[in-house]
Structures are given as C-alpha cells and as structure tokens.
Amino acid sequence: MRRRKTLAGAAHPFDFADICVINRAVNRARRSSALASLAAPPSRSIRPHDAQSERGNPHWIRLKDESELDAIPGEDGWPLVGTTFMLLADPIGFAKRMRAKHGDVYRTRGFGRRQVVLIGPDANELVLFDRDKIFSSEQGWGPVLNLLFPRGLMLMDFAAHRADRKALSIAFKPEPMRHYCDLLNVDIAAGVEAWGEGERKFYPAIKALTLQTAATSFLGLPFGPEADKLNKAFVDMVQAAVAPIRRPLPFTAMGRGYAGRKLMVEYFTGLLRQRRANPGQDMFSQFALARREDGDGELLPEDVVVDHMIFLMMAAHDTITSSFTTLIWHLAKNQDWQDKLRAEARAAAGGDGVPLPFDALGKLDLAEMAMKEALRIMPPVPSTPRRALKDFTFRGFRIPAGTDVDVSASAVHADPALWPDPERFDPMRFTPEAVAARHKYAWIPYGGGAHMCLGLHFATMQTKLLVHHILTRYRVEVEPGYTPTWQPWPIPKPRDGLPVKFTRI
C-alpha cells in the first residue's frame, strides 16, 4: 500500500489529502463570496466574518510589511496553510522543535499571517504584565474569537477593560463566593454520588457535571433540557474558534459556532431581563446588577452583560473540565498523592462525603498544589496572543508595531531549566518556598497582569470541592501503564475520554 505523505513533525499528522480538502473548501467559499457580491448591490455594511478582521475593526493596527520580520529566524511553512496544522496537531512539540532550532524568538505563519513567538519567563512578563502598554489583547485574540465571543474581558484593553473588570468583580467577592460554595457542595455531591462504582469515561462525566454546576451557580437554573441546548451551543462555539475556515458558511464549524452564538445571545438576553426584575444570588444576577463607577453609574448595557456572560461561561466551563481531567489522571497514576489529598480533605471537612465549608477551603493546601501542577503539565490555553501597538525590542530583535506576538505557556511549563524532569507529576514544585525561588512568570495558566483570569479563585474553589467530594467517596484508578492521547485544541481533552475505575472507599 502506498504511504501517504504527511506534514513533518505532527504528532497526529494532517496529510496532503486533508490539505486538498481544506483548499477546495476555501476555494468554494471564495467563489460563493464572489457570486454573492455580483448578485447583490454594492454595500458598505460589515459582513459577520469581518468582525475578526481589520476591515470590521478600523482601529486595529496591522503590520505594514511582513518582510520587516525576515530578520527574525523561523519558518513560513506550507503554501496557503503555513504552519497552522503543525501547531494545531501538537502545540507543545511544535514549540519545542521551533525553540530548539531557532531560539527564544522565532516567527511562524498561522491562520494566514505571520506572527512572532517569544518564549521564556522574561517574555511572559514583558507581554502579559505589559508595563509600557505595548500589547493589545483585543487585537491578539480578536482574529480568533471576535465573531464568537466579542467584548469578553479577554478581548478588551486598558481603560475600557479596567472599567468592566471592576464592575464584574462584584460577582467574586466573599459573600457571593460563599453562596456559590454552598450550591456547588450540593450539586457536586449529588452528581458524584450518582456515578457509583465501576468503570466510566471520566472526561464526559466531569463535563456533564460542570455544566450542571454552571447552570445553578452561574445562572440560578435547575439542570434540564435547556442545558443540553446550551451545551451544544458552547461546544460548537469553542470548536469554531480554531476552525481553518474563518467565515460562518453553512455546513462549516464556524457556521455552527455562529449559530450557537445567536442562540446564546437570545437566551441570555431574556434571562438578563428576568434577573434584573427579580435578582437572585447566582453569578448572572450579580452581573445583571453590575455598574461602572465612571459616568453616571448606570447598569451595564444589556448587550455588554450578555457578551461578558457568554465569554465567562465558555472560559469557566471548558477550562475546569480540561484541568480537572488532567488532575484526576495524575492522581489515578500516583496513588500516594491521591491518599494525601484524601486525608487532607477528610481533615478539613470532618468526614467522608460531607459538605466542605467555605471557611475550610484554605486548609486544602495540597489539593491546590496538585491543581497547579496539573495546570503546569497541561495548560488549558497553550499560548496567549497579543498584537504590538508600537515597536519594541526583545533579545536584540526589533519587532514592529502591528506584529502578532504569542507567548507560550506550554513551552515554558515544559522547560527543564525551570522545571526539572518536567513530565513528572510533582505538586511539591508549588510549596511556598519553591514558588518564591522561581521567576514569577514561569507559570502562567491564568495569564498575568491586567488580564489575569478574573475567575481564578472560583476555579480554585470548584477544584477543591471536586477533589473533596470525589476522593472521600472513591478510589480512582487507571490501567497500569495507561497514558491518554490528548486532543490539544481548542482546549485539551483525552481522545478516549480517560477511562477510569471508581471503587467505594
């Protein structure tokens, strides 16, 4: 049988037949667009997909001449697709190969444009802390997310970002967090108890459970048929974020994602009006009553609240599902650490299978260290894009305004100079002494600087509650020698669902 040629270096290679399929789809899209423009009268209106481009965002800065990046070592990859598929197939391996070949500053071409990747804690601090306001998060994430998740906090910059972040932070103050903890205790306990003994695929089980907890703590809704519709919309939107075809054409991932967004906007707009008329203690009620401190202190506009809630639901739901699956895999492989976390949870809560009080969360230090180690090994967001608003220099390279710049969490988290034996699960890397001795930006799963994840304390609380309720009921095991194969994009997940065995304690 004749071997099919593949793109070199991919862990799950895309072959030339796949590229031909993509090329034909792109050409059909172009022909369809051209025919539509001939049939319709000229229009100055912005098309949906222009939300992700400079045409729909004239304030975005674009690199005037890509040849200005020629002096930076790197690769442009294949015609049309560049290095896109190599990156999508194996982001960690791709970053390792590029860094080994070209150093800590290199260029690639993905999703139709050149970008520069900066690797290392110093690069992370430069870009994420952004002391000199060089980098735009809006213009970095916008080409990927702006059609599906516009005006999420991650797609805002500077004063506007600060104002909305401060307004929304009301939802993460101690009293609301205490209420969320009570709700999560009930929902997680019921969901985990219903799993029972035996073998199951962990990833779909935890995904369903986190969706249920989001419905109650985020939205104040009981889990039901509506949640299935919302879940499909979320899945379609997240999958569309890294779809090769960037236009919302029928029968494409982006088309399904765009339809999912329409459903979400309609649903959340109606729910927002209900919450403003009759607020509860859920997170959406907190958002519904949020006000900016500048101006006249009016409530945030409806469309702004809806956009923020859609983005937050996506960010919170899929990232906790991914990171907790990674954690369970390593605890199942490392039974000594599973025993330590179980003993810690029992001591904090005062028994097995009982609620973990909000005031006891701070006692789960080992659980928090294990969570951080899981996030190091498999960060839910492997890289963070920005766009340079002005020229800057890093490691002797001049990088002009308009350049798309990425920093790589997956590359830094796997750097043996920072993390000896980086593939080994070792929560002791996160003792207070070890953290103090390490560069502050060597660990960046939640980003950094002004755009540090607003919900990180909620994510930590939810992880500790999951650890408590699962490990005080069950011993979790995997087959000896088992290692899952991971689908890296858009958010990492095990391709086989992570088969585990639960045994009652």
The rounded distance, in Å, linking the Cα atoms of 108 and 115 is 6
- At 494, phi and psi to the nearest 5? -75, 135
The two most distant CA atoms of the chain are separated, in Å, by 72
For residue 381, give the DSSP letter: S
Query: Euclidean distance between the first and final Cα of the chain, in Å?
Result: 52
The angle subtended at Cα 158 by Cα 180 and Cα 95, nearest 5°, is: 80
**426-457 burial code (b ≥16 CB/10 A, e <16):** bbebbeeeeeeeeeebbbbbbbbbbbebbbee
Closest of 252, 203, 97, 211 to residue 487, by C-alpha: 203
The rounded distance, in Å, linking the Cα atoms of 264 and 311 is 10
For residue 383, give the DSSP letter: E
The secondary structure of 26-87, three-state, reads HHHHHHHHHHHHHHCCCCCCCCHHHHHCCCCCCCCCCCCCHHHHCCCCECCCECCCECHHHH
The half-sphere exposure of 82 on its side-chain side, counting CA atoms within 13 A, is: 16
- In this structure, are strands 499-504 and 198-201 parallel, antiparallel, or unpaired? antiparallel
The half-sphere exposure of 303 on its side-chain side, counting CA atoms within 13 A, is: 5
Residue 453 assigned ligand-binding role? yes
Q: Which two tokens stand for residue 191?
A: 């969901």
- Give the chain's radius of gyration (CA, Å): 23
Q: Which two tokens stand for residue 357?
A: 């009080």
The contacts of residue 108 (CB under 8 Å, 6+ apart) are 74, 75, 76, 77, 82, 83, 87, 98, 114, 115, 117
The contacts of residue 311 (CB under 8 Å, 6+ apart) are 149, 151, 152, 153, 154, 155
H-run or E-run covering 486 = strand 486-487
The annotated binding site is made up of 453
The annotated binding site for heme is made up of 453
